[in-house]
């Protein structure tokens, strides 16, 4: 009931004092008054009531009220208001007498504006209660006076637990104190503040909120409360962090790829230089007697060239431009065959534990290169434990879910063989881990590491469509995890040779005396120094040699001497027509022609792969001279030419 109580009492008293005073009073009050007799007809009404029910200017006296009335009741009715349209009136009934007879007193008030205001307040209350954001109202000291249900849902604190507390119950200790000072300085000055908090729930779980906090002021502009509207942005923060991590991974991969391209290019050029150095040194060695002092120097040159060649092979492995021959291989067998090497490498101060999966892990692999990956990881672990410790080599089958596949940047979903190599050594910090696979980066003392080992591991794993990641804690240890896709192909039983096995070769002198019939070789090489040294060595070994500077020149030379040429020795990458293209054209002339291909690396790796898939002989530059001569003898022997 929204009637003005003083006016209501005034009306009731006036009835007791007489009609004349009543009439005067009724026309001065702001509520409508109607007296209805037992027959339901209006005995008396004031101007306000007449205006509410008779917009045409007439009064209600004598009219039939037309609705049942119960004394002591109150209810709302719709009214038609001039100009303003339909509204709501509140009616309260009370028992009275009129001219000595029982009657009903109706007190009526237009409550349209009040009802509208109450409706708006109700909607506002529902909006706050049902808001998707957390809403908190505090007093000027920061003590909580109200929280909505979303606050409880997010934080775990009920309204009863929160009211009377300070919002500092949510503090996690991660938001800087300076941020809170800026907040209070801003809102105390009457301004709005917006920012992010890392807060703590009732159960201790951390969460992120985006908060907007503003002062609430009364009619005089004085701050009475503070209102905070907050949104849970934990998922958004997590997504941002994941995106940043992916960006970081992408940048790291791009950086390694750029370094790899540079390393591969350097290795290619360096291979040709090494081939020339090795070739000329071998020529000097052929001319010298074994007991001459200078022959020792030449041997040192050849040995050093061999070490440099190993370095370029590592660079090529990192840049993924070193040819690989993938065949089904059992990862467990590879580890078992290397086990004796681990104990020899680690010594007595390091305990070695090997835990292999209870099922075969068949992968498509170049077994020798996987052996090199394992040896590099084990060696790296040994060097991280100078005072001794424990090394654990573990294999297992895993099937990462979609999220993990994206995190690891794996080629596809499915089963993977996981090779883990863990140590209890010195460990690494975050900055070191970010650079650990970069070529020439090393944490070892000068002269004790080239920084190529883990770069080689990285490149080899990528060549096998796998992924490698590292986890480390300073002074606790490091774990390298290598993921390699599992294949359904059947293993052919060959596990591969030890990555450190040396290639046996006979001496050039032995080659030159193995036959008295000189055979003719066509050598095509665009690098003049390499071509000149190879030609001289082959001639010294007793072969007749025709040289060409590129593929087109080689085809022309072959056409001129087709009947005499027994073997082609071609570089793969040459300007114009490359070695494979020249071979294809020559093969049309002489289908049975024998060929040996050499390459530092190919910009188009498909060419080298195509050569190997066709079963053609391929040698990686720089080629050891005894090995080159041995391969030439083997190929010529296969066609019955017996060199």
For residue range 389-414, list pLDDT tens digits in order.
999 999 999 988 877 777 777 777 88
Distances (CA, A) of 533 to 296, 301, 306, 390, 410: 20, 15, 17, 50, 45
| Distance (Å, whole) CA 375 – CA 359 | 23
Q: What is 508-638's CATH superfamily?
A: Response regulator (3.40.50.2300)
* pLDDT score, position 473: 93
CB 26 within 8 Å of CB 11 = yes
Q: Which of 155-164, 339-348, 369-378, 608-617 shows the lowest per-residue confidence on average (mean pLDDT)?
A: 608-617
Higher model confidence: residue 22 or residue 414?
Answer: 414
For the stretch 217-224, contacts whose Cβ atoms lie closer than 8 Å and that sit 24 or more positions apart, written own/partner, are 217/190, 223/140, 223/188, 223/190, 224/139, 224/140
Per-residue pLDDT, 513 = 37
Q: Would you state the pLDDT for residue 642?
A: 42
β-bridge mates for residue 97, sequence order: 102
Compare 254 and 380 and report the one with higher pLDDT.
380
pLDDT at 522: 95
Give the H or E element holding residue 637: helix 625-638
CA-to-CA distance for 489 and 494, rounded, in angstroms? 13
Q: Tell me the torsion sign for CA atoms 155, 157, 159, 162.
A: negative
By the 8 A CB rule, do 180 and 195 touch? no
Q: Could you tell me the residue ranges of all domains in the chain?
A: 5-116, 131-232, 242-318, 327-485, 508-638
In this prediction, residue 499 carries a pLDDT of 28
Return the CATH class of domain 5-116. Answer: alpha beta
The predicted structure's pLDDT at residue 155: 92
The per-residue pLDDT for range 310-365, each reduced to its tens digit, is 666 665 655 555 556 678 999 999 999 888 888 878 888 899 999 999 988 999 98
| Alpha-carbon gap, residue 94 to 498, rounded angstroms | 110
Distance of CA 64 to the CA centre of its chain: 82
Question: Residue 282: pLDDT above 70?
Answer: yes
Task: Outline where DSSP puts E strands in 117-179.
Answer: 134-138, 144-147
Q: Is 544's pLDDT higher than 80?
A: yes
Token code pair at residue 642? 């017996």
Label residues 542-563 b or e (16+ Cβ within 10 Å = b): bbebbbbbbbbbbbebbeeeee
Does CATH number 3.30.450.20 belong to domain 131-232?
yes
Q: Which of 247-256, 316-325, 624-633 is least confident? A: 316-325
**Choices 3.20.20.140, 3.90.1560.10, 3.40.50.300, 3.30.565.10: CATH for 327-485:** 3.30.565.10
Q: What is the pTM (predicted TM-score) of this model?
A: 0.43
CA distances from 226 to 80, 142, 147, 165 (A): 42, 8, 12, 14
The SS3 assignment for 593 reads coil
Domain 242-318, CATH number (from 1.10.287.130, 1.20.80.10, 3.40.50.12780, 1.10.3720.10): 1.10.287.130
Cis amide bond preceding 143, omega within 30: no
Which residues are paired to 197 by β-bridges? 209
User: 459: which 2 tokens?
Assistant: 């490149």
- In which band, very low, low, confident or very high, does the pLDDT at 632 lie, cut at 50, 70 and 90? very high
Mean pLDDT of 6-19: 55
Lowest mean pLDDT among 417-431, 432-446, 528-542: 432-446
Q: 3-class SS at 623?
A: coil
Query: Would you say the CATH fold of 131-232 matches that of 5-116?
Result: yes
**Residue in 343, 327, 449, 459 with CA at minimum distance from that of residue 393:** 343
* Structure confidence at residue 493 (pLDDT): 44
Looking at residue 503, what is its pLDDT? 29
CA dist 455 and 47 (Å) reads 99
Query: Is the pLDDT higher at 50 or at 538?
Result: 538
- The predicted pLDDT at position 495 comes to 35
Average pLDDT of the segment spanning 408-434: 88
Q: Residue 603 above 80 pLDDT?
A: no
Write out the two tokens for 222.
């004085």
pLDDT band for 517, please (50, 70, 90 cuts): low
């Amino acid at each position: 009931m929204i009637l003005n109580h003083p006016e209501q009492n005034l009306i009731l008293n006036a009835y007791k004092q007489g009609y004349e005073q009543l009439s005067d009073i009724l026309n001065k009050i702001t509520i409508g008054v109607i007296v209805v007799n037992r027959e339901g007809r209006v005995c008396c009404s004031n101007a306000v009531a007449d205006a509410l029910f008779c917009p045409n200017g007439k009064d209600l006296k004598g009219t039939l009220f037309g609705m049942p009335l119960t004394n002591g009741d109150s209810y709302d009715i719709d009214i038609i208001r001039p100009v303003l349209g339909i509204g709501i009136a509140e009616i309260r009934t009370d028992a009275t007498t009129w001219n000595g007879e029982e009657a009903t007193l109706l007190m009526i008030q237009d409550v349209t504006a009040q009802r509208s205001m109450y409706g708006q307040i109700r909607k506002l209350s529902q909006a706050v209660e049902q808001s998707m954001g957390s809403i908190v109202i505090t007093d000027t000291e920061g003590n909580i006076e109200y929280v909505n249900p979303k606050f409880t849902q997010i934080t775990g604190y009920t309204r009863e637990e929160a009211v009377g507390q300070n919002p500092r119950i949510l503090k996690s200790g991660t938001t800087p104190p300076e941020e809170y000072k800026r907040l209070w300085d801003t809102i105390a000055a009457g301004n709005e503040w917006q920012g992010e908090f890392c807060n703590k729930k009732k159960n201790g779980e951390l969460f992120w909120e985006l908060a907007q906090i503003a002062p609430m002021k009364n009619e005089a502009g004085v701050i009475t409360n503070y209102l905070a509207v907050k949104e849970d942005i934990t998922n958004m923060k997590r997504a941002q962090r994941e995106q940043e991590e992916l960006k970081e991974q992408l940048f790291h991969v791009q950086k390694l790829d750029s370094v790899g391209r540079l390393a591969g290019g350097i290795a290619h050029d360096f291979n040709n230089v090494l081939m020339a150095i090795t070739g000329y040194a071998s020529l000097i060695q052929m001319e010298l007697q074994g007991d001459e002092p200078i022959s020792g120097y030449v041997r040192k040159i050849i040995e050093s060239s061999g070490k440099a060649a190993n370095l370029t092979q590592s660079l090529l492995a990192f840049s993924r431009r070193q040819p690989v021959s993938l065949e089904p291989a059992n990862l467990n067998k590879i580890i078992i065959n290397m086990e004796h090497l681990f104990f020899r490498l680690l010594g007595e101060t390091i305990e070695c534990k090997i835990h292999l999966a209870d099922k075969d892990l068949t992968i498509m692999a170049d077994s020798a290169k996987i052996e090199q990956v394992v040896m590099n990881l084990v060696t790296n672990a040994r060097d991280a434990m100078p005072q001794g410790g424990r090394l654990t080599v573990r294999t297992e089958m895993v099937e990462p879910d979609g999220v993990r596949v994206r995190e690891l940047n794996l080629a596809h979903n499915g089963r993977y063989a996981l090779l883990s190599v863990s140590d209890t050594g010195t460990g690494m910090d975050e900055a070191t881990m970010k650079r650990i696979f970069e070529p020439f980066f090393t944490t070892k003392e000068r002269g004790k590491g080239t920084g190529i080992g883990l770069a080689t591991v990285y490149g080899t794993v990528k060549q096998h469509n796998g992924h490698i990641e590292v986890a480390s804690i300073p002074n606790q240890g490091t774990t390298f995890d290598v993921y390699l896709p599992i294949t359904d192909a059947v293993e052919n039983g060959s596990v591969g040779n030890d990555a450190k096995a040396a290639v046996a070769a006979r001496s050039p002198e032995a080659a030159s005396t193995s036959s008295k019939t000189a055979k003719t070789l066509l050598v095509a090489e665009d690098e003049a120094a390499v071509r000149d040294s190879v030609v001289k060595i082959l001639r010294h070994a007793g072969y007749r040699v025709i040289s060409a500077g590129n593929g087109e020149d080689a085809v022309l030379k072959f056409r001129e001497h087709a009947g005499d040429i027994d073997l082609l020795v071609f570089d793969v990458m040459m300007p114009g027509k490359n070695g494979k293209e020249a071979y294809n054209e020559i093969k049309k002339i002489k289908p049975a022609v024998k060929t040996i291909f050499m390459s530092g690396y190919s910009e188009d790796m498909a060419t080298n792969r195509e050569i190997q898939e066709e079963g053609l002989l391929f040698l990686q530059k720089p080629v050891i001279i005894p090995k080159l001569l041995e391969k030439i003898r083997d190929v010529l022997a296969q066609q019955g030419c017996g060199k």
